[in-house]
Structure 1
Amino acid sequence: MKRLNLAEWAIRHRQIIYFFIISIIIGGVFSYFRLGRSEDPNFTIREMVVAAAWPGATAEQITDQVTYPLERKLQDTKGLDYIKSFTHDGKTVIYVDLKDEVPASEVKQRWHDVRNAITDVWGDMPAGVIGPVINDRFDDVYGSIYALTGDDYSYEEKRKYAENIRRQLVLVPDVQQVKLLGVQEQMIYVEMDQNKLASFGLNPSDIYKVLQQQSAMMPAGTIHTNTRNVAIRVEGLLGTTAALENIPIHVGERSFHLGDVAKVTQTYTDPETSLMYFNGKPAIGIAVAMADGGNNLTLGKNLEAAVNRMKGDLPAGMEVSLVADQPKVVNNSIAEFTEALIEALIIVMAVSFLSLGLRSGMVLAMCVPVVVCASFLFMKWRGIDLHIVSLGSLIVSLGLLVDDAIIVIEMMQVKLEHGYSRMESAEGAYKACAAPMLAGTLITAAGFIPVGLAVGQVTEYTNSLFWVISSTLVLSWIASIFVSPVLGYQFIKLGKPNPIKVKVQEKAYSAFRKAVKCFIHYRKTAIVGVAGLFIFSLLTLPLVNREFFPPSVRPEIILDVNLPSGASIKDTKKVMSAVADSLYGDKRVSSFSTYIGDTAPRFILLFSPQAAEDDHGQMIIVAKDTTARDSLQKDVQRFLADSYPEVRAHTRFIQTGPLEEYPVMLRLRGPDAGKTAALAEEALALMKQNPHVTNASLDWPQQTPTVRLTINQDKVRELGIDNYAVSQDLYVKLSGYKVAESYQGDQLVPISFRLEGDNAARLGSLSSLPVYAGNGRYVPLGEFADISYQNETSTIWRRNIEPCITLRSDITG
C-alpha cells in the first residue's frame, strides 16, 4: 500500500487548501482587531489586605492584642505562602499572600475563606477596635486617572463636579469601577474656650448629648386615612452651622444658645488627609478601572468622548487633565511592536526575493501571512492579548517560521532543476524534509517549555512567550506541508539560468564545500577549537549584565519621600511642595502628580500601592523621554539630599516584570525584636561599606516622641472620676470627638466637639489643662497626673508572626 504523501494530497485537493488559506487570512485579520490590548500580560496578584484600627493604643499593644490573633488565625489559610503585617499610628495592616502554585481560578475561594476566618476571630478583639476593612481586589488597575483642578474653587465645589463625572463614567462600557482621590472630608467643629467651660461649669458630654439627639433621624409616624397614608416629617435636623448655633442649651436654671458659648465652623478635616496635587495644584482625582476582558483602546476612546462631553458643563477656571492614560500607552506600545513586526516581515521578504528569486520569493511571501494570521486565530482562541510579550514572541518567531517554508521551496526548486516534474518535486520535498522539519520544530518549541509550564508570577507574566512561539512554529510546519507545496506547484517554474547568478552560487557552494572538507579532515582540531570557544564564552559570562527583564522605557519616575516617623502631614506637604517648585518650568517634565499622606492608586499592574501614612509622600513625574527621565532622576535625588538631608527619598522607574521596590532587599527575622534590630543595624553598616550600594536604609524601627500620663489613682477617685473619664475628656478637647452628623445633600458631615485654639501650643501647657471632674468642677491635669516625655517604637513590621526588618538599597556602577 502506497504511503500517504501530504504534499501530493494537498496539490490534488488544492481547492480545499485555497479555501483554508482565504479563511485563515480573513479569520486572522478579524481576530487581530478583536484581540484585547494591554501594555503588560495579566497575572494574578495573590495578595489580600486586612486592616484594623485601635485608637489610643501603642504599636506594641496593637501587635499583641489585634495583629497577632488575626495572624494566628490566618495561618490556617489553605495555600498560604506568608503573612506580613504593618502596625503604625493606631492601625494595623495585614497582607495575606498565597503561594504561586494556587491556581488563579481558586484565589477568590481562598479570599472567601480568609473573610470567614476573620469573622470567626473578630468577636475576641478588645473593646474599641475598629474594623475589619478587607480588600480582596488589591489588583484592580486604575489605568485612566483624571485630575480636576480649579484655583478659584474649594475642595467641596471640586468634589461635587468630580462626583458628577464619576457617576457618568461608571456608565461607560468596559468600566469596572471609578473612585475619587484626594477628597477632603468636611467637618463641622464646635469649638469652646476652656475658660468658658470652667466658668459655666459645663460638662462637655451635656452639650454633645443635645447635639446627638437633635441630629438623630427618628420616624414621627404615619397617619392612615381611608384613601392614603400620610407620613409626618419633623423638621429641624442639623443641616447648617446656623442651625447648630441656634440650638438651646439648658444647664440648671440657665439657658443659652450654643453659639453664645461656642464657635461653630464648617471646614475640612484638620489635619488634612490623603492630599492630591496635579502639576502643583490642589486636585480631586478620578480613577477609572477597566472591567476584565475589556479593550484598553476602545475604553480610551469611550472615556475621551465622555470626558470631552462633560467638560462643557464645567464652570470657567475648572479643568480636567489626564494624569495617567494607559490606553494611550498601550496604543503606542502596540504600535511600536507592530511597526517592528512589519519591519521584520519586510526584511524577511526582501532577503527571500534576493536569495530565492522572484517566483520562489512570492511563494514565501504568501506563506508568511498565512502563518501569522493563523497565530492570531490561536491567540484569540487561547485568550492571549496583544502586549509586549506576545508581540515580542511574534517577532522572535518570525525569523523561525520562514525556515520550514524556505526548505520546502528550495528543495522543490532543486528537484525541478534535476529534471523532476512539479508533482514529483513536491512529493520529494515532503519525503525528504517533513520529518526532519517536524523534529526541529518540536525541539525548538521544547526549549520554551520551562517558561510555559513552570509555576510563579514570572512564569505567569511570560507564559504567552511559550504558547505564541510554539504555536507559530507548529503552524509554520503545517503550512510548509500543505500551503508551500500548493503555492510552489502553482508558481515555481524553471526559467533561463542567469549566468552571473549561477557563477556566484557555484563559487559560494565551492567555498562552503571546501570549508566542510577542511573541518572533516582536521576534525580533532575543529572539536578542540569549538570546545575552546565554548569555555571562553563561559569565562566571559560574568561580564554580561544579568537581568531577566529588560529595563523599562516608560518615562515615569516614582519618587517616594519618607520623613522621620511621627512627622505630620503638614511637614510632608512642605517637602513635597518644595519638590514641586523645583520642577516648575523644567522642560524635561511633561507633568507630575503628587500624593501626600498616601500613594498613587495602582495605575498599572506592575505598581503596588503602599499603606497611607502622614509622614509619606509620593510623586509620579512623567518625563518627556527616557533621556530626560534619567537626568531628571539624578537632579531630584540631588535636590532632596541637599535641601532635606533628614528625609529618606527613593526614586525608581516602572519595571518590566513583577515589581520589587528596591534592587537589593534583605530580610532579618527573629522572635526578639531588640536583637533583630541590633543585627539589622550591623548588617546595614556592612551594606553601606559596599561601593556599589547607595541609599541603604531599614524600614524600621523608628522612635517617635510621646507624652506619658501617670495618674494618681487615689486622687482621681477622690475627684469622682477614673482613667476612662480622663482619657475621654482629653480626647474630646485635644483631638475632637464626633458627637453628631449633619445631613447635607449627598454628604454626611460629621460634627466634632473640641477646644478652641492652636492644638500644638497646648503641649507646653498640658499640666494646666482643665479636666472636667463632675458637678461643674474642673481640675488642672497636673494636680492628679505626672507628665513625662518618652520615645516609643511607632512602627512594627512582621512576617509570619515574627518581627521582620528589611534592609534595602539602590545600586550604582
Structure 2
Amino acid sequence: MKNFNLSEWALNHQAFVRYLIVLTLVLGVFGYTKLSQSENPPFTFKVMLVQAQWPGATAREMELQVVDRIEKVILETPHVDVVRSFSRPGEANIIVMAKDSAPSSVMPDMFYDIRKRVSDMQNRLPQGVIGPHFNDEFGETYGNVFALTGDGFSYAQLRDAADQMRKELIRVPDVAKILIVGEQQERVFIEFAQAKLANLGFSVAQMVAALQAQNAVTQSGRYDTPFERIEIRPDGEFTNIETLRALPINIGGHTLRLDEVAEVRRGYIDPPSMLFRYQGQDALGIGLSLREGGDIVQLEQNLKEALERIERQLPVGMSLHRVNDESLTVRLAVNEFMMAVLEALIIVIAVSFLSLGMRAGTVVALSIPLVMAATFLSMYLLGVGLHKISLGALILALGLLVDDAIIAVEMMAVKMHHGMPRREAASYTYRTMALPMLTGTLITIAGFLPLAMAQSSVGEFTRSIFQVVGIALLLSWFAAVIVIPYLGYHLLADREHEKPRRGLSAWTHRLAEGFYAWFRRLITLCVSHPLKVLALTLLVFIGSLALFGNGVQKQFFPDATRLELIVDLRLPEGASMAATEREAARLEQYLNTQMAHIDNYATYIGEGSPRFYLPLDQQLKAANFSQFVITTKSLQDREALLLKLRTLLDENAEFSAARGRVIRLENGPPVGYPVQFRMSGEGASEDGFMTL
C-alpha cells in the first residue's frame, strides 16, 4: 500500500483506464445475456428411494422379510443419516436420507455404494421379490407441465398423440427429459365362462397353458442361401384382438374357438396405479425438464415454435393446456430485479446529488453500472446464474457497493476544496483511505461467510448470497481506488473554479452543514462520557435480544410468492383407488365453482405431482392419496381461496373421511410438515399407538 499507489497509477495511465471501463461495460452486458436463468438455485437432493414388490405378501411380511434386510445393509453405508420405510401389502418404499452435513460431491458415491450393497444381498430376499429398484434423481424439475385432453378419445389415442409430441419436444434446445404423467397401460382381458368350461371338462389352467404355447416367441432357425439369410418364424402370433378371439384351442382332442368359452376385450390396468385430470377431465400430463445450466426463459422461447407446430398436428378435438410455467415466474423475478435496480439507482443518485453535490454525485452514480457490469461478468465466469437468491443478493449489494465510492470521492473533493491539486488529492485519498476501505469491505463480506461455509442443504441453497455480495463489494473497492480517482480528476471542480451555491444547492449545503455540526456535538458528548455510552449500548443490546426473542416471528424461509396452492387429500390407509377418486371428484366439483379465483388446476390421484418446482415436497405413490395443484389468478385470489379451502376441508362433513391439507409453496429445501413425530417400540400394537 505504501510503495504502490493504485490511484496515482490510474491517473498516469488514463487511456488504459478508459479502455478497461469500456471493456468492462461491454463484457458485462455480454455476461448478463449469457447468465442462466432459473427460479431457484441448484442444490443437491440428498435422498434416494429404494422400492421393492412382492406380490401376495402382507405388509408385515414385507416389513420383516424384505424391508428389514435391506435397511440393515443401507445403514452400513457411509453418510447415511435416516432410513424411513413404508410397507404396504405387496410393496415397500424405503427413503434413504444422507446427513445434512455430507458434501454434495460425495452423493454419487453414496448412491452407488447403496446400489452395490443392496444388489449384493438380493439373493437373500424371498423368492418372488421384484427389485429392489433405485431412484436417486429426486432433483429433476419439470418446470413446464402441459395437459393433453380430448373429448371422446381413449387413453391409448391420447398416448399415441403424446408419443408424437415427445419426439418433437425432445429435439427442442435446452430440453433434457420428458415425463408422461397418467399414462394407462393397455391389457387384454380374457374372462372365462366357468359353466361352459365345466361342461366341456376343461380347466382354466389348461386354457392358460394353451394360450402361452400359442403366443410364445422362440427361435425357429434360419435358412442361409448363397446370397442372403432367411429367418424362419412360425405364424399364428396375435396381431389384433380378433385373431385372439378366433384362436383354436385343442385340448384332449377337442377343438374350439377361444371366444366360445371366454369374453375377450381390450382395456386398461384395473385398478389404475395413477390418474391425471385437468380441471376434472381425464388427461395425460407432459412434463419438460431443463438441461443442467440451461436458461428457463430461453427454453420458453425455443418451445413456442414447437408448440405451435404440435398444436396444428393434433387431431380435431384434442387440446393442449399449460398447467405450470416456471419461465413466467422467472421473467417476473428478473423484471422486479430490474425495477429494483432502477429504483436503487435513482435513490442513490438523488441522495448523492443532495449530499455531495452535482459533480461528486455524478461520479458516484457512474460507478454503479460499471460495478454491476463487472459483477455480471464475474457471475458468468464463476457459473452463478440468475435466480431468486442471486437476484436478492444483487439488490442487497446495490446499497453496499457505493460506500467505498462515496468515501473516495468525498475525501478527494474535500482535499481539492482545501486547495490540494487534483492528482495529489487522488493520491492522498488512496494513501489514507484505501486500507480502511478494504478492511471494511472484507469485514462486510465476512458477515456473509457463514452462508458459504455451512455444510447443509440450506447453506448450499443460500451460498450465492455470499458469492454475489463478495464479488460486488470487492469490485466496488477496485472501482473506488481506480475509476473514482479518474472520474473525479475530470469531473470534480477545484477551489478556484467552484461556483457560489445557489437555490437548492445552497439549501442542501446549509442543511448538511447543520447536520454535521449537530453530529459533531453528539460525538463530542459521547466521547466525554464513555462509561454511560457503553452502559446505554449494553442496555439497548439486551433489550433488542429480548424483543427479538418474543416479538419477532422466526422462519428461515418465507412462503413462496408463486400463485399455486397445493391441496393434499389423504384417506385412511387401505382405502381403494376408487374411494380416493370419489373424494377427488367432490373437491373438483367445488373448485369448478371457484373459477373466479382459479386460472387452472390439475388433479393427481394415486401419486403426487411431478416436481414442477424445485423445493416441492414430492409425494410417493399411494392408492389413498390425491393431490391438487391449483394455479390462481393473483396473490389476493390465492389467499382468498386458501381460506375457503381450509374452511371447507375442516368443517364440511362431505370430506370427513379424508385428511385435507392446503399449503402454499415453500422456499428453500422442502420441509413438508414443520412438526413431525415418530412413535416406535418393540412389540407395540397399532391400538397402543392410536392411544398415544
Is TM (by shorter chain) over 0.5?
Answer: yes
Describe the superposition over 1:501-538 as per-residue Cα deviations: whole angstroms up to 9, x where unpaired. Answer: 44333322222222223333444443333333222222
| Matching of residue 538 in structure 1 with residue 538 in structure 2 | no
How far, CA to CA, are the matches of 1:668 and 1:460 in structure 2? 31
2:415 paired residue number: 415
Would you say the 8 A contact 1:337–1:388 is kept in 2? no
Describe the superposition over 1:116-135 as per-residue Cα deviations: whole angstroms up to 9, x where unpaired. Answer: 11210111111111112211
2:120 paired residue number: 120
1:627 paired residue number: 636
Give me the TM-score of the superposition, normalised by structure 2.
0.95
Within the candidate set 583, 586, 602, 2:611 is matched to 602
Would you say the 8 A contact 1:360–1:409 is kept in 2? yes
How far, CA to CA, are the matches of 2:70 and 2:127 in structure 1? 15
CA pair 608-235 structure 1, distance change in 2 beyond 3 A: farther
| Matching of residue 678 in structure 1 with residue 688 in structure 2 | yes
Describe the superposition over 1:185-219 as per-residue Cα deviations: whole angstroms up to 9, x where unpaired. Answer: 11111002333333333221111111112222234
Task: Return the letter of the residue paired with 2:603.
Answer: T
Task: Return the letter of the residue paired with 1:578.
Answer: R
How far, CA to CA, are the matches of 2:118 and 2:532 in structure 1? 71
1:785 paired residue number: none
Equivalent residue runs for 1:521-560 within 5 Å: 521-541=528-548, 542-560=550-568
Partner SS for 2:227? coil
Equivalent residue runs for 1:640-719 within 5 Å: 640-641=649-650, 642=652, 643-674=654-685, 678=688, 681-682=691-692
Partner SS for 2:677? strand
Q: What is the CA-CA distance between 1:316 and the residue it aligns to?
A: 1.4
How far, CA to CA, are the matches of 1:331 and 1:2 in structure 2? 48
Q: What is the CA-CA distance between 1:30 and the residue it aligns to?
A: 0.6
Within the candidate set 591, 594, 601, 1:583 is matched to 591
Task: Return the letter of the residue paired with 1:481.
Answer: V
Within the candidate set 610, 622, 633, 1:613 is matched to 622
Q: What is the CA-CA distance between 1:36 and the residue it aligns to?
A: 0.7
Q: What is the CA-CA distance between 1:679 and the residue it aligns to?
A: 5.7
1:505 paired residue number: 512
1:457 paired residue number: 457
Task: Return the letter of the residue paired with 2:521.
Answer: K
Equivalent residue runs for 1:285-364 within 5 Å: 285-364=285-364
Equivalent residue runs for 1:163-174 within 5 Å: 163-174=163-174
Q: What is the CA-CA distance between 1:250 and the residue it aligns to?
A: 2.5
Task: Return the letter of the residue paired with 1:574.
Answer: R
CA pair 505-225 structure 1, distance change in 2 beyond 3 A: closer
How far, CA to CA, are the matches of 1:2 and 1:289 in structure 2? 55
Cα RMSD, aligned residues only: 1.8
2:499 paired residue number: 496
How far, CA to CA, are the matches of 2:237 and 2:366 in structure 1? 78
2:569 paired residue number: 561
Q: What is the CA-CA distance between 1:172 and the residue it aligns to?
A: 1.5
Would you say the 8 A contact 2:2–2:431 is kept in 1? no
How far, CA to CA, are the matches of 2:532 and 2:2 in structure 1? 47
Would you say the 8 A contact 1:36–1:386 is kept in 2? yes
Q: What is the CA-CA distance between 1:65 and the residue it aligns to?
A: 0.7
Would you say the 8 A contact 1:36–1:294 is kept in 2? yes
Task: Return the letter of the residue paired with 1:86.
Answer: F
Describe the superposition over 1:218-263 as per-residue Cα deviations: whole angstroms up to 9, x where unpaired. Answer: 3433222222223334332112221111112233343211100100
Partner SS for 1:400? coil
How far, CA to CA, are the matches of 1:179 and 1:679 in structure 2? 39
Describe the superposition over 1:596-648 as per-residue Cα deviations: whole angstroms up to 9, x where unpaired. Answer: 11111111111132221111111101111222112212222332331111211
Equivalent residue runs for 1:183-582 within 5 Å: 183-494=183-494, 495-498=498-501, 500-501=506-507, 502-541=509-548, 542-582=550-590
CA pair 393-423 structure 1, distance change in 2 beyond 3 A: same
Greater shift after overlay, 441-450 or 335-344?
335-344
Q: What is the CA-CA distance between 1:563 and the residue it aligns to?
A: 1.0
| Matching of residue 177 in structure 1 with residue 204 in structure 2 | no
Q: What is the CA-CA distance between 1:678 and the residue it aligns to?
A: 3.2
Describe the superposition over 1:720-758 as per-residue Cα deviations: whole angstroms up to 9, x where unpaired. Answer: xxxxxxxxxxxxxxxxxxxxxxxxxxxxxxxxxxxxxxx
Describe the superposition over 1:317-356 as per-residue Cα deviations: whole angstroms up to 9, x where unpaired. Answer: 1101111111222222222223222221221122212222
Partner SS for 1:385? coil
Would you say the 8 A contact 1:49–1:96 is kept in 2? yes
Q: Which runs of 4+ in 1 moved over 6 A?
A: none
Describe the superposition over 1:41-83 as per-residue Cα deviations: whole angstroms up to 9, x where unpaired. Answer: 1100011111110111111111111111111111221221221
How far, CA to CA, are the matches of 1:349 and 1:479 in structure 2? 17
Partner SS for 1:410? helix
Equivalent residue runs for 1:45-64 within 5 Å: 45-64=45-64
How far, CA to CA, are the matches of 1:153 and 1:260 in structure 2? 30
Would you say the 8 A contact 1:338–1:391 is kept in 2? no
Would you say the 8 A contact 1:41–1:387 is kept in 2? yes
Partner SS for 2:399? helix
How far, CA to CA, are the matches of 2:89 and 2:406 in structure 1? 68
Q: What is the CA-CA distance between 1:680 and the residue it aligns to?
A: 6.8
How far, CA to CA, are the matches of 1:48 and 1:679 in structure 2? 28
Give me the TM-score of the superposition, normalised by structure 1.
0.81
Q: What is the CA-CA distance between 1:550 and the residue it aligns to?
A: 2.1
How far, CA to CA, are the matches of 1:110 and 1:303 in structure 2? 36
Task: Return the letter of the residue paired with 1:621.
Answer: I
Would you say the 8 A contact 2:345–2:365 is kept in 1? no
Partner SS for 1:665? coil
Greater shift after overlay, 187-196 or 215-224?
215-224
1:744 paired residue number: none
Q: What is the CA-CA distance between 1:283 and the residue it aligns to?
A: 0.5
Task: Return the letter of the residue paired with 1:666.
Answer: F
What is the percent sequence identity of the aligned residues? 37
Instruction: Say which structure is richer in strand.
Output: 1
Describe the superposition over 1:162-192 as per-residue Cα deviations: whole angstroms up to 9, x where unpaired. Answer: 0110122112122211121101111111002
How far, CA to CA, are the matches of 1:223 and 1:679 in structure 2? 70
How far, CA to CA, are the matches of 1:514 and 1:608 in structure 2? 57
Greater shift after overlay, 656-665 or 411-420?
656-665
Would you say the 8 A contact 1:668–1:680 is kept in 2? no
Task: Return the letter of the residue paired with 1:599.
Answer: G
Would you say the 8 A contact 1:177–1:290 is kept in 2? yes
Task: Return the letter of the residue paired with 1:543.
Answer: G
Would you say the 8 A contact 2:451–2:466 is kept in 1? yes
Q: What is the CA-CA distance between 1:681 and the residue it aligns to?
A: 4.2
Q: Provide the aligned length of Structure 1 versus Structure 2.
A: 681
Partner SS for 1:123? helix
How far, CA to CA, are the matches of 2:683 and 2:291 in structure 1? 45
Partner SS for 1:312? helix
